[in-house]
């Protein structure tokens, strides 16, 4: 039985401020650091170890994985960073307080932007400072890969290549893998693994820094999944 661990990064400064974050490179807050340490301690308690880790290129995800691996004394394992595991790009919503967005656009519209797999938030202009084309970490991306907005289906489209081309082969090679990413990149991945419909995805909530364990059969089909918590 193969096990795969998915984990959302610890609480960030903008999570605490209830702001849309997206690709903005926001750090963990004090609670986020502690959540990451607790996640590592829980994984250690239940005897987990890993051959490789995958994360986004955003510091809240990178630091969460680093802290977890430090707790496990696993800082030596290979870490693969990819923009494909970044949070969904929220367009012009990035940086806005979520309640402020509700006051401006209405609760129903904001909920559709947040959860409907095919609903695009308002885009940004390429001259906007938030456009990722201005960030050196994305200098090798094509113009088509640089988003001005993104819905969940588009997030899934960019997540799946790293899943199919890198993570699946590693799992087939019997490597033990941990993926530390973001609410929506993980939501997109879970939608694919669990074959969820749009209605199910709309209701899917992923807590910060709680390990989600997938048990997979020899063909890497899901047998079951569960959150690993300290009882």
- Positions annotated as catalytic residues are 9, 87
Q: Which residue has the tokens 């800082």?
A: 75
Number of H helices, E strands in the chain: 9, 6
Strands (DSSP E) along the chain, which ranges? 2-8, 52-55, 79-81, 177-181, 212-216, 222-227
Question: Is residue 182 a contact partner of residue 87, using CB atoms and an 8 Å limit?
Answer: yes
Longest dimension (CA), the chain: 50
Helix/strand/coil (H/E/C) assignment for every residue in 53-64: EEECCCHHHHHH
What is the Cα gyration radius of the chain?
Answer: 17
Classify the phi-psi angles of 173: left when phi > 0, otherwise alpha if psi is within -120 to 50, otherwise beta. alpha
């Amino acid at each position: 039985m193969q096990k795969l661990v998915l984990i959302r990064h610890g609480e960030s400064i903008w999570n605490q401020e209830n702001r849309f974050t997206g690709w903005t490179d926001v750090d963990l807050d004090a609670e986020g650091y502690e959540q990451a340490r607790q996640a590592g301690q829980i994984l250690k308690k239940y005897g987990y170890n890993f051959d490789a880790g995958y994360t986004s290129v955003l510091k809240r995800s990178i630091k969460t994985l680093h802290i977890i691996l430090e707790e496990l004394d696993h800082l030596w394992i290979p870490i693969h960073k990819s923009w494909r595991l970044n949070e969904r790009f929220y367009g012009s919503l990035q940086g806005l307080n979520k309640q402020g967005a509700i006051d401006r656009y209405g609760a129903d519209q904001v909920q559709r932007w947040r959860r409907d797999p095919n609903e695009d938030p308002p885009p940004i202009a390429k001259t906007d400072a938030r456009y990722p084309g201005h960030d050196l970490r994305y200098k090798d991306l094509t113009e088509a890969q640089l988003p001005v907005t993104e819905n969940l289906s588009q997030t899934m489209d960019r997540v799946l290549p790293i899943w199919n081309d890198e993570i699946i082969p590693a799992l087939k090679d019997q490597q033990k893998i941990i993926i530390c990413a973001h609410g929506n990149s993980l939501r997109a991945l879970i939608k694919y693994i669990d074959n969820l419909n749009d209605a199910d995805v709309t209701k899917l909530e992923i807590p910060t820094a709680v390990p989600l364990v997938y048990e997979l059969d020899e063909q890497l089909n899901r047998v079951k999944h569960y959150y690993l918590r300290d009882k």
